[in-house]
Chain A
Amino acid sequence: MIALWIQNASHAQLQELWWLLCSVVGSLFLFLTFVQGGQTLLWQVAETDTDKDLIINSLGRKWELTFTTLVLFGGALFAAFPKFYATSFGGAYWVWILILFTFIIQAVSYEYRKKPGNILGARVYEGFLLVNGVVGILLIGAAVGTFFTGSNFVLSQYNLVTWTSSLRGLEAAFSLFNLSVGLFLVFNARALGAMYLLNNIDFTDNDGLEERLRAAAYKNFLYSLPFLGWFVLQIIPMDGYGIGQNGEIVRVTFKYFLNLIEVPALFISLVFGLLLVVTGVMLTAKTSARCGIWSSGLGTVLLGLAIFGMAGFNNTAFYPSKVDLQSSLTIYNASSSLYTLQVMTWVALLIPVVLAYVIYVWKSMDSKKMSLVDLGGRGSY
């Protein structure tokens, strides 16, 4: 049945499916940024070196999943929407290079931080983790913001990009709207990080860390609210860009609000996402529960789906050009060919298998909580 569907699906159906799949991967990445959020909490919640080691070792068992999800997000966009990949990465050069830079320095920091002979000292590697958690996530948020506010590019008749801002993408970080998306993601990641650590660490022989993490989850959630609020207040009346009757890109008043109304799944995803995030934080802050990460994590995934969905579905230009409207990218004009999307859809059948073994391994490894015992020996971070 699946084979038949893939074989008979129209190009448009596969383009929509692949926007959905990319959105799922991107949203899972947003959930997994609890690693980055946790990294930035080191300075607030870790009062002793042991606290710090517990946090680093707890996050260190998961950082690769976040990293890999980011790489997959990039790979999936490349395969399914190569025009976006070429336009955004080749155009908004500096913003992407800086994001990558923060992930490069993250990748070595867990392994090298405590190793003798690491040249730079533990503090520098901890600084790398902070930069990755703050600058990396902030800029990713700003880049996501441009799905709504647009970017400065023109495509030639051969679809080759010319970027018209000399800041090469960094201009995205000077938009209040884009910054609010970035800051929301930073604080949300910090709240998620605190909730993940609460779920993962055994606090039996530890004084105060648990309370500090609960407080951090609550505070960071509160800090995230103004930015989320600003995003919602701005997006509802915002004009967007849609596909006109003749296939041209046209300006549409209240486009994103209309997307929420006309595609109820997006509205439901947004509302449930928010409710689940709040539920997770409240469970963490007001009760002794440690499962808040699951509720807020799922909430973050739903919020991500709503954001990516609003940007791309319902005939919306998901990467609008502020310079030449007709250069704007939609999921229909930016995608791979029908054949490639069919091939990729076959490959996507592996996703449930991957999710299954990730969940199984996560469960097996976390059945025993991270404790002081795990910090001994040369195997720990």
Chain B
Amino acid sequence: MIENVNPAMVNWARAQFALTAMYHWIFVPLTLGITWIIAFYHTIYVKTGSEEWKNLTRFWMKLFGINFAIGVATGIIMEFEFGTNWSNYSWMVGDIFGAPLAIEGIAAFFLEATFFAVMFFGWNRVSKRFHLFSTWMVAIGSNLSAVWILVANAWMQHPVGQAFNPQTARFEMHNFADVVFNPVAVSKFTHTTSASMLFAALFIISISSYYLLKGRHVKMAKRSIVVAAVIGLLASGFVGFTGDEAAYEDAQHQPMKLAAFEGLYQGKKNAGLVAFGMINSGKKVGDDQDPFHFEIRVPGILSMLANRKFGSFVPGINDLVYGNAEQGIMGAAEKIEKGRVAIAQLDAYKKATKAGDAAAAQAALSLFDQNREYLGYGFLEKPEDAAPPVGLSFNAFHVMVVLGTIFPLVFLAFLYYSYRGTLAEQKWLLAGGTIMFFLGLAAHEAGWVVAEVGRQPWAIQDLLPVTVARSNLTAGTVQTTFFMFLILFTILLVAEVSIMLKQISIGPEEN
């Protein structure tokens, strides 16, 4: 089915996708979150008629606009990259994956794009109420786009509502509702949007803290902080709750991902969660090295997290790669064998169909059907290939969790001193506040790594590895475009940061 896989090309294609996705992911969470906060500010302005709230709204809107432009620029490449760099994927799952992308365009992007112009330029052109309505529409449109792209992404993690069609040699959609209400999609959407709101709150707190330290725009900064800290604190609760749900879904549908981000090589009952530890990045699956240089585990918590049941068994990487008969877990080695049978029978089915040999075609199809769920494994070279990079997954997950634990404390501190009326005097807190944006960014990017690196080697979990999903390109071609995008996006990022800093230094327009 697939011949002459060029690993260098596949790795460059992965690197390019990671590059564009991670650049895009710098800007998107801020857009998703800050639109809601701006809508709140705008609503307060319309309710009170206060010019100060208007200036505050316009200021955050301005920063949002700068961020939004580069988010759009880095976003367009994402959609088309599925075709350019992953054309086999586009054909083999386009029947399912294309639909959410098209719906995103119809139902979300137009809402965002149309009302964006009113939100920014409608101050003296449309009525106050329609203007406010437009601001809310931008928030809703942005987040609706998140719904659909996360439905698409969740399907890659947990491919439901589909079946492989041997005639066309592709996966086809059988149940749209299953795709949309995929439990992984629900947990991804709620986790991503609540984390984005938290991130936007950190952004506002960082800039407002800077103003308070400098003694500039004090009133605006204090007002911004109160709204942002309340929203950020509420969002933190949701992030924790939805994060737990996301981990549970991983355990049910992507146990290898969970094992990797917990560094769990040997499965066990009453498994503990690593509270603190340094993973041994040199360890390979199947060797005798210790997984950790040191670690502190909280007993039983991982079992609870994974199965909602204390004392339950959580499979480790070795169980999933080599199998565990006691726990009834089939290993990757056996799955590879079955997958190879499926591939061979698919080929035989194709040949028999072409030759008009109905009996042979039926026999091949019958054998294929018995092994079809392991089709993807047939493309792996060895069982160890079924494991993702463990060190990277572990570190990313724990950075995300540690930072996610700190943020609500930060919001609480800001609210407490705001309530006491002494916030401007808390220089230590304000100094810490200025860097919160960067910590939020680190947490977000780490979250992306957990989700996407953790599911390697799969483009579609268990069905389609990245080595098959790729386009038929040379490594040099993809390498060239990788560097093209790296240079372009870096220049645009530097310009964005520079413009943003300048606008922050200028501050809001005064009456």
Contacts and interface: CB of A to CB of B under 8 A. Distances in A.
A294 interface: no
Interface string A97-128: 10011011101101110011111100000000
B221 to A, nearest CB: 19
Interface residues of A, number: 74
Given A90-B87, A377-B509, A379-B62, A111 B69 contact: yes
Contacts of A78: 79, 82-83, 90, 94, 97-98, 101-102
Interface string A338-381: 01100110011011001001100100110110000010011100
B62 to A, nearest CB: 6
B102 A76 contact: yes
Given A89-B84, A162-B472, A340-B99, A104 B77 contact: yes
Contacts of A377: 509
Contacts of A64: 72, 113, 116-117
A193 interface: no
B83 A96 contact: yes
B491 A365 contact: no
Given A61-B117, A82-B91, A157-B350, A115 B499 contact: yes
A91 interface: yes
Nearest to B473: A93
A72 B110 contact: yes
B499 A118 contact: yes
Interface in B465-511: 471-473, 477, 481, 484, 488, 491-492, 494-496, 498-499, 501-503, 506, 509
A76 B58 CA distance: 35
Interface in B275-326: none
B76 A107 contact: yes
Contacts of B96: 340
Contacts of A94: 477
B121 A379 contact: yes
A263 interface: no
Contact of A112 (B74, B79, B105, B499): B499
B122 interface: yes
Given A68-B113, A87-B87, A354-B106, A159 B170 contact: yes
B114 A364 contact: no
B472 A88 contact: no
A343 B99 contact: yes
Contact of B484 (A101, A108, A115, A354): A101
Given A61-B121, A340-B173, A71 B83 contact: no
A215 interface: no
Contact of A88 (B83, B492, B495): B83
Given A78-B98, A85-B83, A379-B62, A340 B172 contact: yes
Interface string B162-176: 000100111011101
Nearest to B2: A160
Nearest to B137: A357
Nearest to B174: A339
A75 interface: yes
B498 A119 contact: yes
B115 interface: yes
Nearest to A368: B125
Nearest to B70: A108
B484 A93 contact: no
A127 to B, nearest CB: 13
A251 interface: no
B359 interface: no
Contacts of B82: 78, 89
B1 interface: yes
Contacts of B95: 82, 336-337, 340
A119 B172 contact: no
A69 to B, nearest CB: 8
A231 interface: no
Given A67-B76, A340-B172, A347 B126 contact: no
Contacts of A96: 80, 83-84
Interface of chain B: mostly helix, strand, loop or mixed? helix
A347 B499 contact: no
Contacts of B105: 68, 71-72, 74-76
A354 B173 CA distance: 26
Given A91-B87, A119-B495, A379-B123, A351 B106 contact: yes
B240 to A, nearest CB: 34
Interface residues of B, number: 86
A361 B115 contact: yes
Nearest to B93: A82
A35 B354 CA distance: 50
A16 to B, nearest CB: 17
A187 B86 CA distance: 34
B176 to A, nearest CB: 5
A347 B98 contact: no
Given A72-B109, A336-B98, A379-B62, A93 B115 contact: no
B130 interface: yes
A137 interface: no
Contacts of B495: 108, 112, 117-120
B83 A86 contact: yes
Contacts of B477: 93-94, 168
A343 B173 contact: yes
Nearest to A110: B69
Contacts of A80: 98, 102
A177 interface: no
B499 A79 contact: no
Contact of A79 (B65, B89, B94, B492): B94
A163 interface: yes
Nearest to B116: A64
B169 to A, nearest CB: 4
Contacts of B501: 117
A347 B69 contact: no
Looking at A68, A91, A157, which has the most chain B CB atoms within 10 Å of its CB? A68
Contact of B110 (A86, A116, A354, A374): A354
A254 B89 CA distance: 36
B125 A339 contact: no
Contacts of A87: 87, 91
Contacts of B227: none
A269 to B, nearest CB: 24
Interface string A49-68: 00000000000011011011
A369 B28 CA distance: 33
A365 B115 CA distance: 10
B73 interface: yes
Nearest to B88: A160
A174 interface: no
A343 B102 contact: no
A214 interface: no
A378 B134 CA distance: 20
Nearest to A360: B114
A161 interface: yes
Given A104-B488, A117-B502, 5 more contacts: A74-B79, A86-B94, A104-B74, A117-B501, A368-B125
17 contacts: A67-B113, A75-B104, A85-B90, A86-B94, A89-B83, A96-B80, A100-B77, A104-B492, A105-B73, A107-B76, A115-B66, A117-B501, A339-B174, A340-B96, A347-B103, A361-B115, A365-B121
Interface of B: 1-2, 58, 62, 65-66, 68-70, 72-74, 76-77, 79-80, 82-91, 94-99, 101-107, 109-118, 120-123, 125-126, 130, 134, 165, 168-170, 172-174, 176, 350, 354, 471-473, 477, 481, 484, 488, 491-492, 494-496, 498-499, 501-503, 506, 509
Listed from nearest, the 3 A-B pairs whose CB atoms lie closest are: A90-B87, A82-B94, A89-B83
